[in-house]
Amino acid sequence: MPACQLPAFHLMAKPGGSRCNLACRYCFYLRKGELYPGSRFRMPDKVLEEYIRQTIEAHCIPEVTFAWQGGEPTLLGRDFFEKAMALQKKYRRPGMVIQNTIQTNGILVDDRWCEFFRANRFLVGISLDGPRELHDACRTDAAGKVTFNRVMRGLSLLKKHRVDFNILCTVNAANGDHPLEVYRFFRDGVKARFLQFIPVVEQDQESGTVNPWSVRPEQWGKFLVGVFDEWVRHDVGTVYVQHFDTALASWYGEPHGICVFSPTCGTAMVIEHNGDIYSCDHFVDPDHLLGNILSVPAKELVNSGRQVQFGRDKRETLPGYCRNCPVLFACHGECPKNRFAVTPEGEPGLNYLCEGYRMFFSHIAGPMEFMVQELNAGRPPSHVMKFMAGKKTTGDGSRTHRRNAPG
């Protein structure tokens, strides 16, 4: 297949593997270090160069994004990233725009890092779980020390240097009951404009039970509803919440912005520090190891039968309960990693968070339909704020919602 007909793909890099300076209670990636006993957990120059060269060469579109994650990628030091920038410059084609994003806990961010991020136009994702007590409930270092002050210090430096940043908040058992407190802290305290909320769902490897810091299904639904009710009345067009943007795309009939709400997936893979490529960040295990970039070109691994089937399985393994669900068009059964519950009929493969998603997507139907109507009429969707003015909410996300309730 000629390169320009290849589907776009995304290889999220873990240049330092799972190595991290924190030990958050819910982290699913720390234990991945066991896959590489004795490793230095540092991407060798040869792997770095292949990763950058192959990624650029496989993209015929004029824009390529490199995403750096971990573990904690800043542990590699700026030298590593300076090298990566030089390689991007070396292989960049004329007219091509290269973007870099990095997900960090912010602990090591100092003036020098900020200057680097600013000079290279990085988008920096900061992991923050809300105000002090809610953040510190799970995000501690290896010695068990809390981290809120250190993260906030890094964040204020990013702001001082005018580095673009967004907030990634993992929603867990501790902060899950406080949607308004969390959202208002990000909006008014941090003054963040781009927010991502990720539900923590982790199973105990031995017992198969859900770990106590995981968010509960109804808690997740109420969290999203609580944030939405505030956003849709005050912040449409000024604060961007990934779940709400993606939902609007679903109602509008556009492609879903994120893999978990797409009908199929499989185009967002992970490259580990040694060049191993895995099907997805949540499937870094021997069964989902596709190959190594030093021996097989990444574009072949992306299009391998195994990976294509991995992506199709998201749709093909949906239980009947999902296939007949009124909000399937927006949910698509969410991520297969969370599909370990059973349907009311006893069929396996239902998403653990289903109750929450049914609640959330049903609740937002009215305002979503209104926003679509406005878009179709060439008017801004932010008009929904007037439409919602005066409609009742308890403000804590605890109301029980029926479908199409607003309207």
Residue 322 as a binder of ligand SF4 (CB under 6 A): the answer is: yes
- What is the phi/psi pair of residue 257, to 5°? -75, -25
Among 53, 92, 306, 337, binds ligand SF4 (CB under 6 A): 337
CA pair distance 337, 320, nearest whole angstrom: 18
| Measured CA distances, 59 to 2, 62, 65, 209, 375 (Å) | 11, 8, 10, 41, 32
Residue 280 as a binder of ligand SF4 (CB under 6 A): the answer is: yes
Tell me which residue of 233, 216, 186 sits closest to 394, measured CA to CA: 233
Note the helical H segments in 43-77.
45-58
Residue 224 as a binder of ligand SF4 (CB under 6 A): the answer is: no
Q: What is the β-pairing status of strands 341-342 and 348-350?
A: antiparallel
List the catalytic residue out of 164, 281, 313, 396. 281
Residue 308 as a binder of ligand SF4 (CB under 6 A): the answer is: no
CA pair distance 303, 305, nearest whole angstrom: 6
Quote the least distance from Cβ 185 to ligand SF4, whole Å.
Answer: 27
**Other CB atoms within 10 A of residue 197 CB:** 24
Quote the least distance from Cβ 18 to ligand SF4, whole Å.
Answer: 17
Binding piece for ligand SF4, criterion CB under 6 A, among 76-84, 208-216, 231-239, 323-331: 323-331
Task: Considering the complex, state which of residue 229 and residue 334 has its C-beta at the smaller distance from ligand SF4.
Answer: 334
Structure tokens at 10: 């995304």
Task: Considering the complex, state which of residue 200 and residue 259 has its C-beta at the smaller distance from ligand SF4.
Answer: 259
Residue 314 as a binder of ligand SF4 (CB under 6 A): the answer is: yes
Active site annotation includes 281: yes
Task: Considering the complex, state which of residue 75 and residue 270 has its C-beta at the smaller distance from ligand SF4.
Answer: 270
CA pair distance 349, 79, nearest whole angstrom: 45
Place of tokens 């704020």: 385
Provide the terminal-to-terminal Cα distance of the chain, rounded to the nearest Å: 50
CA pair distance 189, 184, nearest whole angstrom: 7
Structure tokens at 332: 């698509």
Structure tokens at 374: 């406005």
Residue 383 as a binder of ligand SF4 (CB under 6 A): the answer is: no
Among 225, 327, 365, 388, binds ligand SF4 (CB under 6 A): 327
Task: Considering the complex, state which of residue 59 and residue 314 has its C-beta at the smaller distance from ligand SF4.
Answer: 314
Quote the least distance from Cβ 26 to ligand SF4, whole Å.
Answer: 16
Structure tokens at 191: 């003054």
Residue 351 as a binder of ligand SF4 (CB under 6 A): the answer is: yes
Residue 328 as a binder of ligand SF4 (CB under 6 A): the answer is: yes
Task: Considering the complex, state which of residue 120 and residue 304 has its C-beta at the smaller distance from ligand SF4.
Answer: 304
Residue 67 as a binder of ligand SF4 (CB under 6 A): the answer is: no
Among 336, 366, 381, 397, binds ligand SF4 (CB under 6 A): 336
Residue 198 as a binder of ligand SF4 (CB under 6 A): the answer is: no
| Measured CA distances, 347 to 3, 217, 312, 340, 351 (Å) | 42, 18, 20, 10, 11
Residue 11 as a binder of ligand SF4 (CB under 6 A): the answer is: no
Q: How many CA atoms lie within 13 A of 226 on its CB side?
A: 24
Residue 335 as a binder of ligand SF4 (CB under 6 A): the answer is: yes
DSSP 143: T
Quote the least distance from Cβ 372 to ligand SF4, whole Å.
Answer: 20
- Give strand pairing partners of 167: 126, 195
Task: Considering the complex, state which of residue 59 and residue 256 has its C-beta at the smaller distance from ligand SF4.
Answer: 256
Task: Considering the complex, state which of residue 271 and residue 354 has its C-beta at the smaller distance from ligand SF4.
Answer: 354
Among 84, 271, 331, 365, binds ligand SF4 (CB under 6 A): 331
DSSP 186: I
Amino acid at 222: K
Binding piece for ligand SF4, criterion CB under 6 A, among 38-46, 101-109, 201-209, 350-358: 350-358
- Give strand pairing partners of 271: 13, 277
Among 152, 180, 198, 268, binds ligand SF4 (CB under 6 A): 268
Quote the least distance from Cβ 49 to ligand SF4, whole Å.
Answer: 26
Task: Considering the complex, state which of residue 135 and residue 314 has its C-beta at the smaller distance from ligand SF4.
Answer: 314
Instruction: Give CA torsion, residues 299, 304, 308, 313, to 10 deg.
Output: -140
Binding site for ligand SF4 (CB under 6 A): 259-260, 265, 268, 280, 282, 314, 321-322, 325, 327-328, 331, 333-337, 351, 354, 357-358
Q: Which residues are catalytic?
A: 281
